[in-house]
Amino acid sequence: MTTMTITEASRAGLSSLVASAEAGNDVPLSRHGRVVAEVVSAEEIAGLRRDRDTLRDAALVMARFATDSGVRTDLDQAMEFFGFTRAELEAEIAADISAGRA
């Protein structure tokens, strides 16, 4: 993979860079000797995004396993904690529905 300066990439033209990326040849672009961007195919980006999402999901699962105490709170316990009864919540939902808010 050959790195191109921004000036070289400008001279080569956008269509040349895109054609190279479509052919599977990523094109790193440098400014002042440091890679600052890379032209890659849409397929490559889609794969990277899928991988990122998979890694994020895996991290969430691992965090859940690491922090899960196994203690669960059911809805009635949560309502009681916040000072609500099931009847009050059902009445509020019914009022919202009849007023067209839900």
Helix (H, G, I), strand (E, B) or coil at 65: helix
Q: pLDDT per position in the chain (102 positions), as tens?
A: 789 999 999 999 999 999 999 999 999 999 999 999 999 999 999 999 999 999 999 999 999 999 988 888 898 899 999 999 999 999 999 999 999 987
Which residues, at least 6 apart from 86, have a Cβ–Cβ distance to it below 8 Å?
76, 79
From the list 75, 94, 95, the residue with the least C-alpha distance to 85 is: 75
Backbone angles phi, psi at 17, to 5 degrees: -65, -40
pTM beyond 0.85, yes or no: no
Q: How far is CA 59 from CA 7, 33, 45, 52, in A?
A: 40, 34, 21, 10
Task: Extract the tokens encoding 63.
Answer: 């965090």
